[in-house]
Amino acid sequence: MKVSLKSARVNANLTQRDVANHLGVSVDVIKKMESGKRELTVSEFYLLCDLYHCTYDDIILPINITKRDTEGNMSKANKETIMALEKEFE
């Protein structure tokens, strides 16, 4: 079953503060990641999966449609993240 970033964190019995401390970022950054207002890097995503004891397949990442260009394509950062994940797990 796929879960959101927030659900994965809660299931791991972690607070936003715990995750922020682990990643070396602010709680605000974690809130933005969970709400889709900030894109994750591939390394952040791997760290979160490890911290939450799940695989990348278990998590549904929020897609922020405001990050799409005028032609409806994903942002370059989103494309690169998805391509890197697909390449890593081929």
Phi, psi of 48 (to 5 degrees): -65, -40
The answer to whether 6 touches 33, Cβ cutoff 8 Å, is no
Check: pTM over 0.75? Answer yes or no.
Answer: no
State the DSSP H helix or E strand holding residue 32, giving kind and residue range, or none if neither: helix 27-35
β-bridge mates for residue 59, sequence order: 3
Per-residue pLDDT tens digits for 4-23: 999 999 999 999 999 999 99
Listed in sequence order, the residues at least 6 apart from 70 whose beta carbon sits closer than 8 Å to its beta carbon are: none
pLDDT in tens, 19-41: 999 999 999 999 999 988 888 88
